[in-house]
Amino acid sequence: MIMQRLTAPLFILFAFFLSLNAHAEPQTLPAPGVPAAPHVVPSAPQIAGTSHLLIDFNSGKVLAEKKPNDRVEPASLTKIMTGYVVINELNNGNMSMDEMVTISEKAWKMPGSKMFIEVGKKVSVRDLIKGMVIQSGNDASVALAEHIAGSEAVFAQLMNKYAETLGMTNTHFMNATGLPDPEHYTSAHDLALLTTALITKFPEEYSWYSQKKFTFNGITQFNRNKLLWQDPTVDGLKTGHTESAGYCLVSSAKRDEMRLISVVLGTNSSEKRIQETQKLLNYGFRFFETHPLYKANQRLNDIKVWEGTKDILGIGLAKDLSVTIPRGQYKNLKIESSVEEDLVAPIAAGQELGTLHITLGDEVIAEEKLVALSAVEEGSFFKKIIDQIMRLFSSLFSFLG
């Protein structure tokens, strides 16, 4: 009789555990589909110059590279960072597009490419930006730097701070223009990082880099990125040239929903940097495709949580996930997840609880952390006791099974 009184509640708990465990069975992550035929991708084309890099903007996948981390002289590619600092200053409310800048003698005397501003005259921030971006004006770059930081040297410190926050570990700036200096250097990889950040954070301002010409002081100058005329999918970004750096080009193009970023450094002519960039872009778009798989905070799976205010917790990714793969191979993707077992509350929102694995054949395409999409607080004393008993049953059930 006593045994009956004891075992009846235990059977009820055991049955409750079985039903709950069934409810907590993880959902299978969406699979792309049935296998497709293998697809051969040729090697990346040979590219002239000292170094180059081709990456997918959305996934970060490297599609072609040569010496991407070698330190190089950036020449006027420096002005990508100058522009990045300027845009941040505008967005932070530290100045406006209509603000007038008094041109210093230093800015007026700058050698190299110019927008032809005059000493002592007032020029709007808007016009100076166009002079820097479209006409690659060294005078405009220095005028903006002095207006923002008081001097070009202090502005260079700002540039280096931003480079540090972006992870540009092979970069150091000494000026806002790219004029040669032994301590002024970057790499193809760092330039791709900077370009990605610029397009991601400031998509509206990025449109500045697609403008083909600008007239100031009665002088019309054309954008030196001739790909803007040659390839309608190209919408930026910046050329550079000095005798020591050679002819360089950072460019970006978007076809359908796929965007590529190309960095070509150290070619021997303005025509060659255009030809080599076009070769890289054509290769990337022809043989690869990009697929957005999951959005940030999208619920991908449910997991069991013990001793908490709720029993089921949704997990997903902290950021959007796209993959770049050879064309025709989407159906061959394999998506799996590994998740921590026997989770006990409390669990914080954003806490890493597992990993999403995406493979194509033997190649790991992506591995991203799965995180808690919400918090789970500790349950009541009674809830903890019940769950501890159920965990004991779970262990026993696993042992016997």
At 145-169, the pLDDT tens digits run 999 999 999 999 999 999 999 999 9
Shared domain for 68 and 204, answered yes or no, is: yes
Q: What confidence score (pLDDT) does residue 226 get?
A: 96
CATH of the domain at 31: 2.60.410.10
Q: Are residues 99 and 185 in the same domain?
A: yes
* Residue where a domain terminates, one of 291, 323, 346: 291
Q: Is 398 tagged catalytic?
A: no
Set 59, 136, 187, 262: catalytic member: 136
Summary count for the chain: helices (H), strands (E): 11, 17
Termini Cα distance of the chain: 30
Which of 122-136, 247-261, 349-363, 380-394 has the least mean pLDDT?
380-394
- Please indicate, yes or no, whether residues 161 and 234 belong to a single structural domain of this protein: yes
> What number is the average pLDDT over the span 65-92?
97
Predicted pLDDT of residue 395: 67
Phi first, then psi: what are they for 107, rounded to 5°? -60, -45
Across 277-296, average pLDDT: 97
Residue-range definition of the domain harbouring residue 382: 20-36+295-400
Residues 391 and 255 in one domain: no
Q: Where are the beta strands (DSSP E) in 181-287?
A: 213-216, 219-222, 234-242, 246-255, 258-267
Q: What percent of the chain has pLDDT over 70?
A: 88
| Residue 127 main-chain phi, psi, to 5 deg | -70, -40
In this structure, are residues 122 and 158 in contact, taking their beta carbons and an 8 Å threshold? no
pLDDT at 97 over 50: yes
Same domain, 348 and 250: no
Determine whether 251 is an active site residue.
no
Q: What is the CATH number of the domain that holds 186?
A: 3.40.710.10
Helix axis angle for 125-133 and 78-91, nearest 10°, is 160
CB within 8 Å of 210: residues ≥ 6 apart: 228, 235, 236
Residues 302 and 284 in one domain: no
Give rounded-to-5 percent helix, strand, coil for the chain. 35, 30, 35
Q: Are 236 and 226 contacting, i.e. CB atoms less than 8 angstroms apart?
A: no
Domain-located, residue 78: yes
pLDDT of residue 14: 40
The pLDDT-based confidence of 387 (bands split at 50, 70, 90) is: confident
What pLDDT is recorded for position 390? Answer: 84
Q: What are phi and psi of 160, to 5 degrees?
A: -70, -35
Active-site choice (59, 61, 79, 238): 79
CA 355 to CA 400: how far, in whole Å?
Answer: 29
Q: Could you confirm whether 374 is annotated as catalytic?
A: no
Number of domains in the chain: 2
Q: Report if residue 15 sits inside a domain.
A: no
Give dist(CA 172, CA 151) in Å, integer.
17
Which candidate in 59, 76, 141, 262 is catalytic? 76
